[in-house]
Amino acid sequence: MNLFDVYSLYDIEPTSAKGAYVYNDEGTEYLDFYGGHAVISIGHAHPTYVNKITDQLNKIAFYSNAVINGLQKDLADKLEQLSGLQNFALFYCNSGAEANENAFKLASFSNGKSKILALQNGFHGRTSAAVRATDNKKIQAPINQGISINYLPINDIAAFENELKKGDVCAVIIEAIQGIGGCYTCDDDFLIQLSSLCKIHNAFLIMDEVQCGYGRSGDFFAFQQSGISPDIISMAKGMGNGFPIAGILINEKVFKAEIGMLGTTFGGSHLACAAGIAVLEVIENEHLVQNAHNMGEYFKEKLLQDIPEEIEILGRGLMIGIKFPYTTANIRKELLFKHHVFSGSSGNPNIMRILPPLSINKSQIDQFVEKLSIVVSKIQKTVAIH
């Protein structure tokens, strides 16, 4: 049977991985500064993670959400402790798109409205309302276009106020640090004002922390730097370090649960929760949120110091965009095939995205920057010769 051909693939097949490295069958080592698209939070094949999932698999992997699963509450309690968020309830699902889809439904059930405001260059997933909220017409099918949407510029509070004033906005969805958009960040002031405008105009503020959350920004959630309290927070990627687990955190001061309003078969399975608990234990024990902050600062300094090119650094913590005065596709290819380093692209061809595991250390950052600087020097020389 053929695979449905929707991705352009690199000719590389990782067959094992450990920490910040992945390996192919021949044992070639690749430094992973992409984390499989921001998914690898605690590092590949972490022993705590492997043991917890293995133990759980030997007990019970799954049973229906119609019965009690104590692991769901254990994970929720640990998440409350590490994030510091109080008065939020957790609904489990399986992917970032599904998390946002449930967030929109909850918002719409609650205020009876249906219009969404989102950021230009934002990304929220590929399902119905999530893809509609994503500012990319190419991935929206006609069936997705029924939902009313407005894409507004990042940090333009006047544009948001103008729309919110009309009174018909159900929800505003925002990435505090834009992923595919290229690591552009929301100003704290923008988030504070937006949060208060949403309250005034009976619209719900959904913070999409699918990519920038779970410690990656150097705070547990990226919006927390601004001090706001959103209505809904969506999360996925780093939550399971590769195991599909996602969820929304729902502000209990704002929403009242009703039986049957949301639902899922697989969400919050025993196995998914075991993976999620292991991730949080490692984040706590290895101080990975602090490490993301510290290594992010070190990384930025090192890049500015060692890269022989006019670059702009975007993002925060270990969610870094490096903006070059030219396109980065060749840099990324050369890094991968010649120097065996994975990095990420973004919607802006001049911005490469760096999303390493949160456990990355200085010597691995040094290796990355050294290799990047060799590649950039070579490209500069080619440009000069032409």
Ligand X SMILES: Cc1ncc(COP(=O)(O)O)c(C=O)c1O
Exactly one of 43, 125, 321, 344 binds ligand X (CB under 6 A); that residue is 125
Rule CB under 6 A: is residue 121 a binding residue for ligand X?
no
Which of 52, 115, 124, 132 touches ligand X by CB under 6 A? 124
Interacting positions 215-254 with ligand X (CB under 6 A): 236
Told to check if 96 binds ligand X by CB under 6 A, we report yes
DSSP one-letter string for 7-65: SPPPS--EEEEEBTEEEETT--EEEESSHHHHT-SS-BT-HHHHHHHHHHHHH-S---T
Give the Cα separation of 354 and 344 in Å (integer).
6
* Beta pairing, strands 246-251 & 88-93: antiparallel
Number of residues forming the site for ligand X (CB under 6 A): 13
179 counts as binding ligand X under rule CB under 6 A: yes
The three-state (H, E, C) secondary structure of 241-258, written as one string: CCCCCEEEEEECCCCCCC
Nearest approach in angstroms of CB 175 to ligand X is 5
Nearer to ligand X, 57 or 139 (CB): 139
Q: Is 211 in the site for ligand X (CB under 6 A)?
A: yes
> Binding to ligand X by residue 316, rule CB under 6 A?
no
Q: What is the DSSP string of 143-183?
A: GGGGS-EEEE-TT-HHHHHHHHTTS-EEEEEE-SB-TTTTS
Any contact of residue 71 with ligand X (CB under 6 A)? Answer: no
Which range touches ligand X (CB under 6 A), out of 137-145, 203-211, 301-309, 312-320? Answer: 203-211
Q: In this chain, which stretch among 120-128, 137-145, 147-155, 367-375 interacts with ligand X, using CB under 6 A?
A: 120-128
What letter does residue 4 receive in the DSSP assignment?
A: P
The reply on whether position 213 binds ligand X by CB under 6 A is: no
Residue type, 320: I
User: CB under 8 Å to 73, separation ≥6 — which residues?
Assistant: none
210-221 burial, b at 16+ Cβ within 10 Å, e below that, comes to bbbbbbbbbbbb
Q: Which of 253, 264, 175 is nearest to 211 (CA)?
A: 175
Which one of 40-48, 183-191, 208-216, 323-331 is the stretch in contact with ligand X (CB under 6 A)? Answer: 208-216
97 near ligand X, judged by CB under 6 A: yes
Q: Is 275 in the site for ligand X (CB under 6 A)?
A: no
The nearest distance, CB 139 to ligand X, in angstroms, is 11
Q: What's the min distance (Å) between Cβ of 95 and ligand X?
A: 4
* Least gap, CB of 297 to ligand X (angstroms): 23
List residues binding ligand X (CB under 6 A). 95-97, 100, 123-125, 175, 179, 208, 210-211, 236
